[in-house]
Amino acid sequence: MFGLRCRALPWASWRSSSCLRASWRSSSVRPPPPPQLTRRRFLSRGPADSSSPGVSLRTRVAVAVVVGGGLLGAWWWVNQEREQRVRQQRVEQLRRVALGQGAFSLLDHTGRRRTKQDFLGRWVLLYFGFTHCPDICPDELDKLSAVVSALDRDASLPPVQPVFVTVDPERDDVAALARYVQDFHPRLLGLTGTPEEVQQAGRDYRVYASAGPKDEDGDYIVDHTILIYLVSPDGLFLDYYNRMKTQDQITDSVRNHIQNYVKL
């Protein structure tokens, strides 16, 4: 078959015989390279091929960074637009509520006449109460004062004006207010006036106030709304905080309103 004569051998001997090797050498059909040669050739190509994945990886990372940055920028822009729309809707809602938009006129604790125009351009935290209040009013004014002091420590924020309006003008005259506000923030401004003037200011903020029966000493308690109001530099009511709100919660809320404020 291969051009050589070979005597018959058992199959095991045939596989190892020189006759078989000679037959392969004389044949025009070449056997495949030994397995170890194939592995060496494959391994010799390894370093050249391994450089390609490295370059491809760097390219993919660069593309991912660019695309990710673009998506992040687009998200930020969309989010800013959404927040702007929410703020505008909030302003429109507050305008429809028409809270605190009246033109009050009251006396401060120094005897000076004050109107709403005096507070335009300033942030205001406003509380309605009375000086004979045994516990709630002092607690709320302490909290209000602490909020203003915390905001004062942030140099990036404008000063906030604390204001206390009495709902008990019969007992809370100018002198009584002057003594009372000394126990709280040094910028706290006390406001009073005639019963009609005080009632008008309360109606502007929908404050409920009702004096209880007098005791044998002529003393009485005034039941009233317990809220701290936030007023923007435009004179627009922006938010309110009830007794459940902590000092830190109010401080964070006021700071957020100031930082996101858009002048009308």
Say what the pLDDT of residue 98 is.
52
Length of the chain measured in residues: 264
CA distance linking residue 167 with residue 169, whole number of Å: 6
Say what the pLDDT of residue 164 is.
98
Is there a contact between 164 and 181 (Cβ–Cβ < 8 Å)?
Answer: yes
Could you report the per-residue pLDDT of 198-227, keeping only the tens digit for each?
Answer: 999 999 899 999 999 999 888 999 999 999
**pLDDT higher than 50, residue 142:** yes
Burial of 217 (0-12, 13-18, 19+ CB in 10 A): exposed
What is the Cα 81 distance to its own chain's centre?
15
Question: Per-domain residue ranges for the chain?
Answer: 43-97, 105-259
Closest residue by Cα to residue 115 from 155, 173, 150, 165: 165
Could you report the per-residue pLDDT of 239-255, keeping only the tens digit for each?
Answer: 999 999 999 999 999 99
**pLDDT higher than 60, residue 25:** no
By 3-state DSSP, what share of the chain in percent is helix, strand and coil, each rounded to 5?
Answer: 50, 15, 35
Quote the mean pLDDT of the chain. Answer: 81
> 105-259 — its CATH code?
3.40.30.10
Say what the pLDDT of residue 202 is.
93
The SS3 assignment for 241 reads: strand
Instruction: Encode burial over 158-169: b for 16+ CB neighbours within 10 A, e otherwise.
Output: eebbbbbbbbbb
